[in-house]
Amino acid sequence: MKILFITSELYPLIKTGGLADVAGSLPQALRDLDNDVRVLLPAYGKIKERLPDAVPVTEMHLLGQPVRVLSTTAPGSEIPLWLLDAPKWFDRPGNPYLQSDGTPWHDNDERFGALCWAGVLLARNQVGLNWQADIVHCNDWQSGLVPALLSPIDERPATVFTIHNLAYQGIFPKSSLSKLELPASLWTPEGLEFHDQLSFIKGGLAYADRINTVSPTYAQEIQTARFGCGLEGLLRHRSDRLSGILNGIDTDKWDPTNDQLIPQNYDAKSLEKKNANKKALQERFGLPAQDKQILMAFIGRLVPQKGVDLILKALPALLKHPFQMVFLGSGSSDYEHSLLYWSRRHPDQIAVHIGYDEALSHLVEAGADMFLMPSKFEPCGLNQMFSQRYGTVPIVHRTGGLADTVEDAIPSQLKAATGISFDLADPGALLEAIKRAWLLYDQPSVWRKLQRSGMAKDFSWHRSAKEYCQLYRQALSDLSPQSSR
Ligand code: ADP
């Protein structure tokens, strides 16, 4: 299949969240399955500096502006990368969506409206590049208008829209409709209108042939008021076209047998070697290097979504018991201060590193015994997968991707178990889950089994890419005979 993958982020060029990781891995995994994939990304200023070999291949006018398309390959892959070079919109430093004071760029409607128009023209072979897409794969609100713009066209590619974060919707004033040269026919409550405003994400949710999100459980959850961000009605209406596909992880980068960022490599048969990493982690965080002490870990953004408040509320009761815990993260200053407070009060048990440190996150995954991930909601989540790959048993709230990737160690199902899950997002349930994990830890053969079952799981992009190919085929067959190419 010929697939145009449209994204506003791509690891390692530009990243604010999980979309960048997906865009950095999935296209290559699709190519490995013999698909012809092209990626379209805005040529943010920083990116052009990093890809000096990008050459102009075509020009067009978008919203009255002359723009160019530059062609190169995505770093570390063979994937053709098209960069939308529009200095007026994209030659800006820093975050792709926000100014330095944290507020959105004033012209985000034009910037990503232009990206959508470029996607439509490129997918339909209308700018002289001699390539026509079978599938246009759009991601999050920044490319949400593409399915809407393609929908009335008779001969068109099939469209797939992936939700990586439903909370960000691309909402703009009604006046943006004409500014972006959008057909007035799209302005309906069933279309792009959302409470008298223009919603980019609705372009994807209402018009794409297939919609998916990054885990099957989250695909169900977003059809409820609790998780649906006001779009649950539309998502329920389209439930026959909505599914979930788990993200993969980079299994080369996250490989305990070959990880250069940890002091001691190991595999499922040499788990005793993991202890050297535990010792290094304890030393790095200034904790007593005690081999027998249970060492738990948390890595992540310190924001309400990640359930940091649950851990903070459970700490006083936990601290009556011997254990150690390390935190690596940054985010809300309230959470940062609370964690630092506990680490000062209990320096032999709690240690905190505030900041973003990718190398250190490998040592944490390799050195800890257990990994805490009590997220309130979690579209997919990566750390619980890294943890299982490193024999570090995850303790998770049973929601979204956490529910789909961690098999709970209930007594009747220990054979397939890989971690501990709990149902209620409250400190008592978390505490109980941790105590359950501690009891299992005291049974070395059961614990080894849990570790090994987690390490044996397939979290590769290859598995996800096969599911995406299936989704693309469904999207193609959804096209009615008149409109199919
Ligand atoms: P989200 O995308 O909601 O932040 P995920 O679990 O999907 O959560 O992915 C977060 C990614 O960022 C993971 O790779 C995680 O290890 C990494 N990460 C988050 N905070 C830190 C940190 N402080 N230091 C290193 N890596 C971090």
Model pLDDT for residues 132-162, shown as the tens digit of each residue: 999 999 999 999 999 999 999 999 999 999 9
Ligand 1 binding pocket includes 338 (Cβ within 6 Å): no
Mutate to test the pocket of ligand 1, among 382, 405, 464 (most ligand atoms within 8 A of CB): 382
Ligand 1 binding pocket includes 328 (Cβ within 6 Å): yes
Distance 158 CA to ligand 1 centre (A): 33
CA separation for the pair 324, 118 (Å, rounded): 52
Q: Whose CA is nearest to atom 24 of ligand 1?
A: 356
pLDDT of residue 262: 98
Phi, psi of 205, rounded to the nearest 5 degrees: -70, -35
Cβ atoms 261, 362 nearer than 8 A: yes
Considering Cα of 297, then 300, then 305, then 308, what sign does the dihedral take?
Answer: positive
Cβ atoms 99, 105 nearer than 8 A: yes
Bridge partners, 58 (sequence order)? 69
Considering Cα of 172, then 176, then 181, then 185, what sign does the dihedral take?
Answer: positive
Ligand 1 binding pocket includes 17 (Cβ within 6 Å): yes
Q: Which atom of ligand 1 is nearest to the CA of 361?
A: 25
Q: How far is CA 361 from CA 37, 255, 300, 387, 391, in A?
A: 32, 13, 9, 11, 15
Distance 20 CA to ligand 1 centre (A): 12
Residues whose CB falls within 8 Å of the CB of residue 414, separated by 6 or more in sequence, listed in order? 446, 449, 450
Domains, the chain, ranges and CATH?
2-248+462-479 (3.40.50.2000), 271-458 (3.40.50.2000)
Ligand 1 binding pocket includes 379 (Cβ within 6 Å): no
Q: Which atom of ligand 1 is nearest to the CA of 355?
A: 23
Ligand 1 binding pocket includes 375 (Cβ within 6 Å): no
Cβ atoms 148, 186 nearer than 8 A: yes
Ligand 1 binding pocket includes 252 (Cβ within 6 Å): no
Distance 357 CA to ligand 1 centre (A): 10
Any idea which residue has 């006018």 for tokens? 61
Q: How far is CA 129 from CA 57, 121, 137, 239, 380, in A?
A: 8, 10, 19, 36, 36
Distance 304 CA to ligand 1 centre (A): 14
Ligand 1 binding pocket includes 343 (Cβ within 6 Å): no
Any idea which residue has 């379209």 for tokens? 40
Cβ atoms 2, 134 nearer than 8 A: yes
CA separation for the pair 62, 72 (Å, rounded): 21
Containing H/E element for 16? none
Containing H/E element for 127? none
Distance 356 CA to ligand 1 centre (A): 8
Q: Where are the alpha helices (DSSP H) in 417-460?
A: 427-441, 444-455
Q: Whose CA is nearest to atom 26 of ligand 1?
A: 358
pLDDT of residue 483: 43
For each of the chain's 485 residues, which pLDDT tens digit applies? 999 999 999 999 998 888 999 999 999 999 999 999 999 999 998 899 899 999 999 999 999 999 999 999 998 889 999 999 999 999 998 889 999 888 999 999 999 999 999 999 999 999 999 999 999 999 999 999 999 999 999 999 999 999 998 999 999 999 999 999 999 999 999 999 999 999 999 999 999 999 999 999 999 999 999 999 999 999 999 999 999 999 999 999 999 999 999 999 999 999 999 999 999 999 999 999 999 999 999 999 999 999 999 999 999 999 999 999 999 999 999 999 999 999 999 999 999 999 989 999 999 999 999 999 999 999 999 999 999 999 999 999 999 999 999 999 998 888 899 999 999 999 999 999 999 999 999 999 999 999 999 999 999 999 999 999 999 999 999 985 544 43
Distance 153 CA to ligand 1 centre (A): 40
Distance 383 CA to ligand 1 centre (A): 7
CA separation for the pair 433, 105 (Å, rounded): 43
Cβ atoms 384, 371 nearer than 8 A: yes
CA separation for the pair 266, 257 (Å, rounded): 5
Ligand 1 binding pocket includes 394 (Cβ within 6 Å): no
Maximum alpha-carbon separation in the chain: 70
Distance 473 CA to ligand 1 centre (A): 32
Distance of CA 322 to the CA centre of its chain: 35
Pairing of strands 171-172, 197-199: antiparallel
